[in-house]
Chains A and B, each alone.
Chain A
Amino acid sequence: MPVGSEASAWIAGAPAPFDAAVAEAARLLGLSAAPVFAHLGADVAGLREAVLLAEQVGGVLDHADSPGLLTNLDSVRESGAMLTTPLEAARADLVLLIGDGVFDAWPDLTPRLIDRLADGARVVWLTGSAGGRFESIAIGTGVARLAALGRLRAEAKLRPLASTPPALRSLAQSLRAAKFGVAVWSGADLEPLAVEAIHGLVRDLNETTRFSTLPLASPDACAAETVCGWMTGFPPRTGFARGRPEHDPWRYDSRRMIAAGEADCVVRVDAFASDAHIAIGLGEAPANVRFEVGRPGVDHDAIFYDARVGTFVARPAASPAGRSVAQTLAAIRARLGGPPC
């Protein structure tokens, strides 16, 4: 947000000079035994500084959307996957949407993918319960969805099962007949084993035809995954308390840590909120220190993850204003004596 005459930093709810807020943030993080970055909504430069600051203070890096992100990633890294990009997916002659949350995960799914398919391409939506906008088959959620996806995969292997609903058997035949099919879902929406079943189905289909997947997660979670990946070797839920990055999706689950009283200082970075900010506080209490920050690509030049292309894009600021996440976090790290990087 533009700085103007208004304050851009607060300590305990009261406006404070930026330097004082930086000093207070550094003091809190320096005293903390278990600082946790519970959310990482930032551009690439901001994420980079968050990783460096987390290392400096021995903290844990997590993202509010890690559950969906890791549901997608876990299946990939435990079993492998066929993947494609948002641009390439538009070449599909069959798009298989899975789960009610798929449009929530990518609000532009219709204009960016569905509307760009060639004439004659087919869209099938495996919904939870409701009838969808497209040709849809309600398969339920949870155990029911797992059972249905298992059934679909077996039918696609030409192993007919008793009592497979005709619509599902016919879909299995269509999947086999597709020239290039793409399955699309949101990791936040599906059971981990459902994702595993879909990847298995797609692997099987590629024995005879071409089929791929487009697993969706929130764009800034994808950015955090990628930047943490090249900087530490690991995606979020990575901690530095013992001097080296350690990845542990169970122990470094920030929600679990906060609920279990294992975190004594919580940092939330959200440059994509309407009130772009960094908040540093104890547990779920109101922030002890808060910084207003610029919006990436609006208030400052930025590189961020763009769901339309599934990779990073650069966007210059329309009218530069305010401090970025990167500048703010770098100031805190410098205050803590972190070496330049």
Chain B
Amino acid sequence: MLTRIAGGRILDPAQSRDEVGDLWLQGDRVIAAPDHGRADETFDAGGCVVMAGAIDIHSHIAGANVNTARLLLPQQHRAHASRPAATPLANAGWSTFETGRLYAQMGFTTVVEPAISPHHALHAHLELADTPVIDKAILAILGNDDFGLGLMRDGAGPDAIRDHVAWTLQSSKALGLKVINAGGVAAFKDNVRSFGFDDVVPRYGVSSRQIVKTLQRAVHDLGVPHPLHVHCNNLGLPGNFQTALDTIAAAEGLPLHLAHLQFYGYGAEGKLGFSSAAPKLAEAVNAAKSVTIDVGQAMFGQTVTISSDVLRQFSARAQARPSKYVIIDGDANGGGVMPYNYRDGSFANAVQFVVGLELFLLIDDPYRVYFTTDHPNGAPFTAYPDLFALLMSRDVRAQWLSRLPAEALAVTTLASLTREYSWGEIATMTRAAPARLLGLKDRGHLGPGARADVAIYRPGADLAQTFRAAVRVWKDGECVVRDGALTHYRFGRALRVSPQPDAAMTRRVAEYYDARYGLDAELLSVPEAALPREPFETVACPR
């Protein structure tokens, strides 16, 4: 099957290409224009923008905590209108099937679920295998687990830590490693109620800083393309920008990714003791070239927060709306699920909204700032189109700001920022950059040999609508979205790295599981052939 996408504006920052021209797809790949090309199918993309499929590096779409949220909030997806069901379960609200459909319709073709406790990795992969169209990956969580903290307490060297990380990534079939409130969740098990970057975990005698530095080094040494993905301490608290600054400084030139930085962009200035510290954070990020961040933009409306930062979720329990929460003391990180309503009339929520936009607009390099709402914590991913519009148009921003409390704008700089993201910067932030960050060589660009994941948009006056409903989306060369609607299911694959676990570490882990749990460690591993419908695809570790 040879497909020609004719006459669109091909926007491919990874290849420095921005021109009107043709794009050719053959099978599941992009190919160079053939000499004697007679396309089986031609799509006239005149007036459209042609980009690689978008990549979301941080979106909580699957796993035990997400499913707990579904079950906790049946009323939030009860009133789903019946639509003609071209695809099974098309009418199911907040199902994995809906997740795949809605992402595909926005032109996203790869999504990373960023927080999976290794013991729940199989569950997460099962949900991802039921998420149609898109390719997926998980990040496995360490940094609050007894075995890993025990290694650090006992002074195990970098090799042992590295081997444990390798074992964990292999066992859970993950694309990278995440640390969530390093040590803070373990400390909460001993009833510690606040935990900062230099606080020490009871029983283990290691600080959060040591945990982050140790795991950062291990990920780097293994050659895992995606750097350690850090959810810092003190999420959501006034004055917490200092925690983020300390964590950025601790990167010390090695790659480090800070997740949903918006939630750490808070000063304690102003009458209400809550203000934007985004300019300070942006300055630090601009200076620390080895650091990448994603924003975790907050948008207004009802959502639910889903986090493995159990300490933070517990501490915030009084803010649940409606008033209920689930806190799970897990085998390691566990989870907290809490419905929350961001209101535009709320001073605090307005500051949060503004902090996110400030970070987007004040961080210079679109290769180091990633587009996320920390779905669904800042907002559901369905809010992305509105957010694109906010970044690309200061007029749209002005309209939104006019609804916000004046005292919230007073503690921020947003109104003075005139930057507008270009289409090219959007393409960089959502395609070229995440592919580079995750080590996905054949994604995020449209050069020959790239995977034929292509999204086409028709720019209109309503930018949000433009991004909400892609004109066409191809996944692996198969057209799956027409005029903003998914036509049929196909199933993608799960991306993972495959570092070889060291035999001695495998033995040591097995002994630990036997002694602590009386179980075979393999019982909680994800077998290679567990998911026949969705094979794993290995992403190379160059080192």
Contacts and interface: CB of A to CB of B under 8 A. Distances in A.
Interface of A: 44, 48, 51-52, 55-56, 73, 76-85, 87-88, 90-91, 111-112, 116, 179-180, 206, 209-210, 212, 225-227, 229-235, 242-247, 301, 303, 306, 308-309, 311-314, 316, 338-341
Contacts of B66: 230
Contacts of A76: 71-72, 326
A193 B74 CA distance: 20
A227 B517 CA distance: 26
A308 B519 CA distance: 9
A20 to B, nearest CB: 26
B503 interface: no
26 contacts: A77-B72, A80-B323, A81-B327, A83-B327, A84-B330, A85-B328, A85-B329, A85-B331, A85-B334, A90-B517, A116-B518, A209-B191, A229-B67, A229-B70, A229-B71, A234-B71, A242-B82, A245-B92, A303-B530, A306-B523, A308-B519, A312-B126, A314-B122, A314-B526, A341-B87, A341-B489
Choose among A79, A84, A229, A233 the residue with the greatest number of B CB atoms under 10 Å from its CB. A233
A231 B89 CA distance: 7
Contacts of A56: 88
Contacts of A79: 324
B119 A311 contact: yes
Contacts of B74: 77, 233-234, 247
Interface string B119-130: 110110011001
B383 interface: no
B326 A303 contact: no
Contacts of A301: 529
B325 interface: yes
Contacts of B130: 48, 230-231
A78 B324 contact: yes
Contact of B191 (A44, A210, A234): A210
A85 B330 contact: yes
A234 B67 CA distance: 9
Interface stretch (B7-15, B27-35, B94-102, B257-265): B94-102
Contacts of A116: 517-518
B77 interface: yes
Given A231-B92, A308-B519, 8 more contacts: A52-B88, A77-B324, A90-B517, A210-B189, A229-B70, A230-B70, A233-B92, A234-B71
Contacts of A309: 119, 519, 523-524
A206 B314 contact: yes
Nearest to B320: A80
Interface string B491-529: 000000000000000000000000001110001101101
B327 A226 contact: no
Nearest to A89: B329
B88 A341 contact: yes
A322 to B, nearest CB: 18
A52 B188 CA distance: 41
B329 A212 contact: yes
A66 B524 CA distance: 27
Nearest to A227: B126
Given A83-B329, A85-B331, A77 B73 contact: yes
Nearest to A84: B329
A84 B328 contact: yes
Given A303-B122, A311-B64, A55 B89 contact: yes
Contact of A244 (B73, B88, B92, B328): B92
B131 to A, nearest CB: 9
A48 B518 CA distance: 31
A243 B82 contact: yes
Contact of A226 (B93, B123, B330, B526): B123
B315 to A, nearest CB: 11
Contact of B328 (A73, A83, A91): A83
Contacts of A230: 62, 66-67, 70, 95-96, 126-127, 130
Contacts of B123: 226, 311-312
B1 interface: no
Contact of B89 (A52, A83, A242): A52
A311 B527 contact: no
A77 B325 CA distance: 8
B96 A231 contact: yes
B80 interface: yes
A108 B383 CA distance: 46
Contacts of B290: none
A303 B71 contact: no
Contacts of B97: 231
B85 interface: yes
Contacts of B88: 52, 55-56, 338-339, 341
**Residue among A48, A84, A235, A306 with max Cβ neighbours from chain B (10 Å):** A84
B91 interface: yes
Contacts of B94: 233
B533 to A, nearest CB: 9
Contacts of A111: 518
Nearest to A91: B189
B89 A232 contact: yes
B36 interface: no
Nearest to A80: B324
Given A55-B88, A87-B331, A311 B122 contact: yes
Contacts of B126: 44, 227, 230, 303, 312
B271 interface: no
